[in-house]
Homo-oligomer: A and B are copies of this chain.
Amino acid sequence: MAKIITISREFGSGGRIIAEKTAEKLGFRYYDKEIINTAAEKSGLSKNIIREVGEYASSTSSLLFNLSISNTLGGGNMSMYDSVFTAQSKVIKQFADEGNCVILGRCADYILRDYDECIHIFIRSDVQSRIDRIVNVYKEGGDSPEKLLREKDKRRRVYYKNYTGLNWGDSGNYHVVLDSGYIGVEKCAEIIADIAKIK
């Protein structure tokens, strides 16, 4: 059985709930916010900083933002983005070494690319299903949920590209890609757990 499942996702695709359900079905630990908490504890960086820069490129220029945060906090050779990436990477590897877990986002597929017994998932969906979820489930987006969706996707895409050199959502990076709007979150979790069991 695969012992580690990484789940990457488009914003509004329900990737988080799929990850939680998959972990529940398999009796695996589920890591999302705990990555932030543990990385903060171990690195001394604040949880807010890790939450803000730990999965998204800046909404303006990532380079400018990088320099500005680095300067503000008196960063040395390493930018704040790099410090957060390094801190999160260490925590993700530590969790993976402990086995049997589902890890959400944060380039975990790339960080654990050389780990055996690891299955990499990407959850996507059509724009309308994602807007419906953002508005009705997340209660976000205000007057322009589509703008929020495109902005968040863009920032995740740039962040992923910066740290992996790969294209976020490129099917070649994952063992399974599922359209949650078409398949439904419950069935997605069932399929992932099922594949994990046979591997």
Contacts and interface: CB of A to CB of B under 8 A. Distances in A.
A187 B174 CA distance: 17
A176 B180 CA distance: 9
A124 interface: yes
Contact of A177 (B176, B182, B187, B199): B176
A175 interface: yes
A183 to B, nearest CB: 6
Interface string A89-122: 0000000000000000000000000000001001
Contacts of A195: 183, 187, 191
Contact of A124 (B124, B172, B198): B172
Contacts of A176: 176-179, 183
A182 B172 CA distance: 12
Interface of A: 119, 122, 124, 169-172, 174-179, 182-184, 187, 191, 194-195, 198-199
A175 B171 contact: no
Nearest to A124: B171
B170 A175 contact: no
Contact of A182 (B169, B170, B191, B199): B199
Contacts of A119: 182
B182 A175 contact: yes
Q: Residue among A171, A177, A183 with the most chain B CB within 10 A?
A: A171
A170 B172 contact: no
Given A124-B171, A171-B124, A187 B198 contact: yes
A180 to B, nearest CB: 10
Contacts of A199: 182-183
